[in-house]
Amino acid sequence: MAKLFEPLQLGKLNLKNRIVMAPMCMYAVHKEDGVLTPFHEAHYASRAIGGASLIILEASAVSPEGRITDQDLGIYSDQQTDKLKTLVRVLHELGSKAGIQLAHAGRKAEDAEDLVAPSALAYSAQYHTPNALTAEGIEKIIQDFKNSAARAQEAGFDVIQVHAAHGYLINQFISPLTNQRTDEYGPQTLENRFRLLKEVLLAVKSVFQGSVWVRFSASDYDENSTTLEEFDQMNQWLETLSVDAVDVSTGGLLPKRPDSIYPGYQTQYAKRFKERSNLFISTVGKLGDPSLANYILEDGQADLISLGRPLLRNPNWPAFAAKALHDKNYVPYNHSYGRGFNE
Ligand SMILES: Cc1cc2nc3c(=O)[nH]c(=O)nc-3n(C[C@H](O)[C@H](O)[C@H](O)COP(=O)(O)O)c2cc1C
């Protein structure tokens, strides 16, 4: 059996293979109420039928003001939670585990009137300048994450992924480029910069019994931002906090891109994290070539392959990968789908 299709026991979580659907905002909530629509239900269910072991729902805001846009999903109202509960049941019925990415956009909220961030520094000239969060404001955000985690528990999710990547609020606290505070959350020490994430994780874990993951941007593509040695230290702290896994992405803090984006371009960071921590590590970024994805696992560079765009292109990517890797043991959710790949 190709490594891609080997099961993985990740703490309490049993995954049937190594293929994870990465969180991807669909910006499809047209009523601006943060509630799942029939589109979302079909979209996620299709990837479960397609065979991904874990479906991580898109960045879902912990409060209305924490949304990137008014079309984002939220997990702060009863109506949202009811619909999420139904979707989780469907994903389970279709053989996948269900995760949700909890997020607050901070200074990258595009539609909010009043933006908040660690410091009053705009993302770019096209964005509003945020207000620096007060101590009460920080406390409310931690409470929002806790309330959303309790809703995720009620909805039956197996995984919460805390969004600490891509330049959203938690990433803004971690980087010294976006955090100029003078209190205990300020950039004077790494411990201070990590404090919001730590408090969010403690709050989430106090109400959520499933698996807790973190998504990091391991590089902000600026030599003055968080260093890899600092990520090594934060990964150790995550272990102490009993975080189960880290999904390793990059970028988004600044309007900067890496010089070159090529298949597996972010896996170097996952490999480093895997070598230097005991966390389960997921890698992401242009991994749609099944041989490359399988090689990364065989070579021990990561435990899981997260796929974004490959699963947008092809919800049945796992069956496509099984065919490409000549894995005869792969069984599609519905046997008739086999005819699409074997005849
Ligand atoms: C349409 C779209 C929406 C995305 N939304 C999110 C998101 O909600 N949260 C997140 O952490 N990353 C988001 N991403 C990034 C993906 O999760 C993934 O890291 C990125 O696309 C690279 O992986 P890929 O090459 O497999 O697509 C998004 C990407 C796409 C293409």
Please report which confidence band the pLDDT of residue 156 belongs to, taking 50, 70 and 90 as the band edges. Answer: very high
217 forms beta bridges with 249
Kindly report the pTM of this predicted structure.
Answer: 0.98
| pLDDT tens profile 248-263 | 999 999 999 899 999 9
Over residues 224-229, mean pLDDT: 98
- The residue ranges of DSSP E strands in the chain, in sequence order, are 8-10, 13-15, 19-21, 54-61, 73-74, 97-103, 116-117, 131-132, 159-164, 211-217, 245-249, 280-284, 304-307
Query: What is the per-residue pLDDT for 323?
Result: 96
Query: What is the per-residue pLDDT for 63?
Result: 98
Of 24, 163, 171, 286, best ligand 1 pocket probe by most atoms within 8 Å of the beta carbon:
24
Cβ of 186 closer than 6 Å to ligand 1, yes or no, is no
Is 131's pLDDT higher than 90? yes
3 state SS of 88: helix
| pLDDT tens profile 262-279 | 999 999 999 999 999 999
Query: What is the per-residue pLDDT for 45?
Result: 98
Is 113's pLDDT higher than 90? no
What share of the chain has pLDDT > 70, as a percent? 100
| pLDDT tens profile 71-100 | 999 999 999 999 999 999 999 999 999 999
Closest ligand 1 atom to Cα of 163: 11
Give the count of alpha carbons within 13 A of 179, CB side only.
Answer: 28
Among protein residues, the one whose CA lies closest to atom 5 of ligand 1: 24
Query: What is the per-residue pLDDT for 327?
Result: 94
What share of the chain has pLDDT > 90, as a percent? 97
| pLDDT tens profile 165-211 | 999 999 999 999 999 999 999 999 999 999 999 999 999 999 999 99
Residue 284 Cα to ligand 1 middle (Å): 9
3 state SS of 14: strand
Residue bearing tokens 């969010």? 200
DSSP state of 63: S
Contacts of 82 (CB under 8 A, 6+ apart): none
Cβ of 323 closer than 6 Å to ligand 1, yes or no, is no
Q: What average pLDDT does the chain have? A: 97
* Cβ pair 187, 129 in contact under 8 A: no
Among protein residues, the one whose CA lies closest to atom 22 of ligand 1: 285
Among protein residues, the one whose CA lies closest to atom 10 of ligand 1: 23
Query: What is the per-residue pLDDT for 143?
Result: 98
How far apart CA 65 and CA 107 sit, in angstroms, is 10
